[in-house]
Amino acid sequence: MDKKLNGKAVVKWLSENIIIVLIVLASIFVSTQNKNFLSQNNIRNLLSNTAVRFIIACGVSGCLITKGTDLSAGRVAGLAACLSGILMQKADYSSRFYPNMPELPLILVLLIVMAICGAIGAINGSVIAFLKVPPFIATLGMQTLVYGICLVYTGAIPIGGLRTDYTGLATGYIGTRMLSNLTIIAIVVGLIMWFLYNKTRYGKYMYAIGGNENAAEVAGINVNKSKIKIYMLAGLLYGLTGFLVCAKSGGCSVNTAQGWELEAIAGCTIGGVSVNGGVGTIPGILVGVLVFEVLKIVLQFLGVESSYTYIAQGLVIIIAVALDLRKYLAKK
C-alpha cells in the first residue's frame, strides 16, 4: 500500500515539476556531448546571469504571491540602468551626459536609483490598493509610461564611458574565481528576502493577503498599506537590478532589461510561486530562475537559432502557468 502511495507521490511530483525534470535531463545530455557545458567559465557566466535575474524575480514574487503581478519590472530596471549609467560616467568621457557634474560616490548613485524606482513601485501599489485598478492593467500602464520617460530623458542614445570602479563591481570576484560579486550580492538579497518572507509580519501579511484578501482584512491586516509596501520593495529590487545590469554590461540603453518581467514571472512560476496567490518560497524562486537560465544555455549548445529560443521560452512560460493552474484546480 505504501509503495503504491509512494509511486503516486512520485508521479504527482514529476507531473508538477515536468519542466525542471526535462531541462535537467537536457542538461545532462548536452554535458555528455560537449565538455565545455560544465566548464568553469560557463558555470561562472550561468551564476552571474542567474544572479541579476534572481534579484528582479524576488521583487516580482511578492506581487504574484498577493495574486497580483508587475509587468513594469523590466522597464523600471531599464530606467534604473540608464540612470546608473548616466551618473556613473567618467569625468573625462567626451560624450558625458552631464559634463559639469562631479563624480558621485558609487553608494550614493545606488541609493538615488533605488529611491526613484522604489517611488515608482509605491505608485504602482497605491494605484492598485486605493484606485482598485487590476495589477495587470496598472503595471502595464506603468511599463509604457516608464519606457516613454526613459526615451525622452535619454534621447534613446546608448550610454557608455562608465567608471572602472562601477564596472568592476559586476566583473570582480570575492575570494574565488567561481563566485562573482554579482553572485554574492544575489545571495545576500536572497537571505534578506527569505528572512522577510518567513520571519516578519511583512511576510505573514503578504501570504495572508494572497491566500484570502477578505479574510486578511477581517483579521485586522491593513491590506492597502501592505500592498504598497510589497510593490515599493519590488521597485527597490528593480532599481538594484538595473544598477548591476548596467555595470555588468559596461553600458546600457532604453532597451536594457526589456522583457525581463516575463522571465521573472516564468522563473517564479517554475519555482513554485502560484499565480493564484498565497504560495511561494525564495529557494524555489532561485531554482526556477536557475532552471530558466540553464534552458537558454542548453539551447545555445544544441545549436538552436536565437530566434527559436524565444519560442521555447514562451512555451515554457505558458506550460509553467498552465501547470500552476492545474495544481490550483486539483486542490479545489
d(CA 22, CA 14): 10
Lowest mean pLDDT among 6-10, 29-33, 206-210: 6-10
pLDDT of amino acid 328: 66
- With cut-offs at 50, 70 and 90, classify the pLDDT of residue 1: very low
User: In this structure, how many other beta carbons lie within 10 angstroms of the beta carbon of residue 136?
Assistant: 13
pLDDT above 60 for 314: yes
Over residues 322-329, mean pLDDT: 76
pLDDT above 90 for 156: yes
Express each pLDDT in 285-309 by its tens digit. Answer: 999 999 999 999 999 998 888 888 8
- pTM score of the predicted model: 0.93
Over residues 189-207, mean pLDDT: 97
Q: Which has the higher per-residue pLDDT, 17 or 168? A: 168
Express each pLDDT in 226-259 by its tens digit. Answer: 999 999 999 999 999 999 999 999 999 999 999 9
Over residues 162-175, mean pLDDT: 87
pLDDT of amino acid 332: 56
